Amino acid sequence: MTHNALHDIEQLEASLWEAADQLRANSKLTSSEYCMPVLGVIFLRHASNRYQAALKQIEADQAAGRIPKRPLVKGDFIKRRALMLPEQARYDELMNRPKDGKLGAALVEAMTAIEDEFEPLRGQLPKDYDRFESDLLEDLLRAFDREALRNASGDVFGRIYEYFLMKFAMQGAQDSGEFFTPPSLVQTLVNVIEPEHGIVFDPACGSGGMFVQSSHFIERQGQDTSHKVTFYGQEKTATTIRLARMNLAVHGLEGDIREANTFYQDEHNLFGRCDFVMANPPFNVDLVDAEKVKTDRRLPFGLPGTTKGAGKNRKGDAGKSKETVSNGNYLWISYFHSYLNPKGRAGFVMSSQASSAGHGEAEVRRKIVQTGDVDVMIAIRSNFFYTRTVPCELWFFDKGKKWLPSPPAGEGQGGGARSADTVLMLDARNIYRKVTRKIYDFSPEQLANLTAIVWLYRGQQARFLALVRDYVAAICREAAAVPGELERFETTCKGLQIQFAEFDERVKRLAAITPGQKQPLADGLAELVESRSAYDADRAALLGELADFRNRHAAALPDTNEAQHAARHAFEPLADRIKGLVKQVDLLYKLAARCGQLAQELAAVEEAAELYDRRLAGKRLKQLDEERKQAVEQLKAAAYFHRQIVWLQDRFPNAEMQAVPGLCKVVTRAEIAAADWSLTPGRYVGVAPPEVDEDFDFEQTLRDIHVELADLNREAVELAAKIQENFEELGV
């Protein structure tokens, strides 16, 4: 998928959210009231799409004689990962029904009919639509009936569902946003533990994001999730379980998710059985009843520390003094370790306080480190969560690691530095992408680059080289799309240039207009023509070199480290020329816009007004600006993937694991013991030397500033509206 194709999907997600959230704002509903009904509509749209796609496949199979012509049954659709939707639950039927004010009741009937046909969703779909005004529901259904959505694939709807979960989480729609773990963190967990077989368990599963990302990982390997893994989940909140079951259904997945408090319950009886455990548990929970957990077999390292206090967490116990666990973090950590089978892996999000906590927690941490099962620790900066600003760390266990031999003394780390005696410390706090003023995440490439470090630690050099090779392929792919984007921009620019030139010629023949009035447009047009000539020459040279690079590398992508370094250096002068051509594209647009302004001013003179088509010029300038943006983004996309290669090769020039100051270091248990058993990456990796950013992206910096300004403006509008509402309630 090219940069601009991905951009189109992101634009669709954003526009759908804007439309849906605008309806919410106009209805005076809170995010909590609106969340489930909107997600239900997304589910319904997706279920209808799956039904229609499966129906076409079945009819094609019947026509070809692959299956007999007979009445269809549920199994025909289930085989194709679809539901055999009752007629009243099909999106088109709901859209075409008469406007009788009973759309809410019809949606309730549709959801009930789906639950009757699909046992895993029994009692899980939203059925409170009859409390909404029909006009609101009609607008909501219409928002998800766009042409782009009628034939959209399951992947697109999965993205949309997760995008809406994320946006609702940002608004704190459910349980203070704890139902949703940011995708960047989930994907990092998945990338490191690679959950591709057996039992996958999330003891604090929220909306099921861990399961969804695990399925994506499996499908990228060309495997069928249902044949590879079994998903188990526990969650204490019934509403959140509904979100999770809908999320799985939207992605065509199934899982056994049960309501339970994991502090006290192992509902699935998974002690010692799990191949993979993944979780983002609530941090720093206090007042867990020590009496109820102290003999739990899931605590092989003992209780982390207890205090005496009033039992505020149990009804009827107020005032009674009892022993409680002062902080539940190490209960979670111990549970995750105990669920693993002898070769199991775990990845989980944890408060940054836990990795260096003292007293009883330090003792539990020492015992865990001494097992040899701690594999990787990754530090994450603040602002990755949607409702909390705290930093965190990602912990990874691997019980199979204890059987690995230590690297031979005196040899390089090309074969990996991993053994039962080592832990990879990775400080990713300086790696992030700004989403909003308050929220950061990882870009897909940042995620891939962090994962590549783990590969080197594990001695998987071939995977590191494959990633660099993929970046070379991405350069070739994005470079191939450059000519088309530039051609669209150039065609519109040429049309404007001709329009300005024709107007200039006509104006020159008008005696009523003075030379002083005519000259600015003539000068502006001359500058545009001159700049276009220089651009054409540089464009032709760059496209020729890009074509040469593609011809040399696309058909036989470089596999060795030496060949990849050669490809990187071969592209470096092209990356510089891309920067130059981006500036020229921007300049052409500015000059065309300037000519447009001058022509409009000249056309204000009565004698020239009939000679200039302002509407056509305005339409073309707007189109030119959009095409400029697309062309510039496409040019930058090729250079962007080159920068990823540079980032990796500068830090790991031999494609082998090595310590990188401020980023990563492989440490031994002896080093950890000397540091009070701390598992905080920053304590080991040191500080990166200051770097001169030769690739400073001025436009990206301005974009980040614009993001902050837009957020501040939006918050100001919301605050002003709230103040006005309060005044009105007070009768002021």
pLDDT digit string, tens, across residues 511-521: 888 888 889 99
108 and 196 fall within a common domain: no
362 and 508 fall within a common domain: no
In this predicted structure, the answer to whether residue 154 has a pLDDT above a threshold of 60 is no
- Distance CA(68)–CA(76), nearest Å, equals 11
What is the helix (H) or strand (E) element at residue 327, kind and residue range? none
Q: Which letter does DSSP use for residue 281 in this model? A: P
pLDDT digit string, tens, across residues 593-625: 999 999 998 888 888 888 888 899 999 999 999
Q: Give a yes or no: residue 290 inside a domain.
A: no
Nearest CA among 18, 37, 32, 21 for reference residue 173: 32
Q: Give a yes or no: residue 670 inside a domain.
A: no
Residue 176: its pLDDT value, please? 43
Q: Say which range, 233-237, 415-419, 695-699, has the weakest mean pLDDT.
A: 695-699
The mean pLDDT of 152-162, rounded to a whole number, is 68
568 and 452 fall within a common domain: no
Q: How many domains would you assign to the chain?
A: 4
The answer to whether the CB of 307 falls within 8 A of the CB of 327 is no
The mean pLDDT of 422-451, rounded to a whole number, is 92
Encoding tokens for residue 315?
A: 């009804």
Q: What percent of the chain has pLDDT over 70?
A: 87
User: The CATH number of the domain where 261 resides is what?
Assistant: 3.40.50.150
- Distance CA(125)–CA(246), nearest Å, equals 7
Residue 13: its pLDDT value, please? 76
Residue 552: its pLDDT value, please? 95
In this predicted structure, the answer to whether residue 657 has a pLDDT above a threshold of 90 is yes
Residue 81: its pLDDT value, please? 72
- 321 pairs with which residues across the strands? 310
The mean pLDDT of 204-209, rounded to a whole number, is 88
622 and 566 fall within a common domain: yes
Q: Is 91 exposed, middle or buried (0-12, 13-18, 19+ CB in 10 A)?
A: buried
Q: Is the dihedral of CA 148, 628, 491, 590 positive or negative?
A: positive
Residue 252: its pLDDT value, please? 77
Q: Which letter does DSSP use for residue 511 in this model? A: T
Q: Give a yes or no: residue 113 inside a domain.
A: yes
- Distance CA(675)–CA(18), nearest Å, equals 50
Q: Give a yes or no: residue 680 inside a domain.
A: no
Residue 700: its pLDDT value, please? 59
- Burial state string for 324-360 with b = 16 or more CB within 10 A and e = fewer than 16: bbbbbbbbbbbbbbbbbbeebbbbbbbbbbbbbbeeb
Residue 696: its pLDDT value, please? 53
pLDDT digit string, tens, across residues 343-384: 999 999 999 999 999 888 999 999 999 999 999 999 999 988
The answer to whether the CB of 450 falls within 8 A of the CB of 428 is yes
More confident residue, 722 or 165: 165
In this predicted structure, the answer to whether residue 676 has a pLDDT above a threshold of 50 is yes
The mean pLDDT of 245-265, rounded to a whole number, is 88
Residue 314: its pLDDT value, please? 45
Nearest CA among 240, 291, 237 for reference residue 262: 237
- Distance CA(165)–CA(174), nearest Å, equals 10
- Of the pLDDT bands very low, low, confident and very high (cuts 50, 70, 90), residue 315 is very low
- Distance CA(67)–CA(209), nearest Å, equals 36
732 and 715 fall within a common domain: yes
72 and 57 fall within a common domain: yes
Residue 121: its pLDDT value, please? 84
Side chain identity at 326, as an amino acid letter?
S
81 and 197 fall within a common domain: no
In this predicted structure, the answer to whether residue 174 has a pLDDT above a threshold of 70 is no
244 and 383 fall within a common domain: yes
Residue 162: its pLDDT value, please? 72
User: The CATH number of the domain where 115 resides is what?
Assistant: 1.20.1260.30
Q: Which letter does DSSP use for residue 660 in this model? A: B
The answer to whether the CB of 229 falls within 8 A of the CB of 198 is yes
Domain termination site, one of 656, 689, 715: 656
In this predicted structure, the answer to whether residue 130 has a pLDDT above a threshold of 70 is yes
Domain termination site, one of 404, 427, 459: 459
In this predicted structure, the answer to whether residue 462 has a pLDDT above a threshold of 50 is yes
Residue 99: its pLDDT value, please? 84
Q: Say which range, 17-21, 551-555, 635-639, 647-651, has the weakest mean pLDDT.
A: 17-21
The answer to whether the CB of 273 falls within 8 A of the CB of 341 is yes
Q: Give a yes or no: residue 494 inside a domain.
A: yes
Q: Which residues contact 11 (CB under 8 A, 6 or more apart)?
A: none
Domain termination site, one of 637, 656, 675: 656
Average pLDDT of every residue of the chain? 86
Give residue 613's domain range.
465-656
212 and 339 fall within a common domain: yes
pLDDT digit string, tens, across residues 33-53: 778 888 888 888 888 888 888
Residue 581: its pLDDT value, please? 97
Nearest CA among 377, 273, 291 for reference residue 333: 377
423 and 512 fall within a common domain: no
271 and 410 fall within a common domain: yes
Q: Give a yes or no: residue 534 inside a domain.
A: yes
Q: Is 709 exposed, middle or buried (0-12, 13-18, 19+ CB in 10 A)?
A: exposed
151 and 110 fall within a common domain: yes
CA angle 496/499/503 to nearest 5° reads 140
Q: Give a yes or no: residue 368 inside a domain.
A: yes
Q: Give a yes or no: residue 362 inside a domain.
A: yes
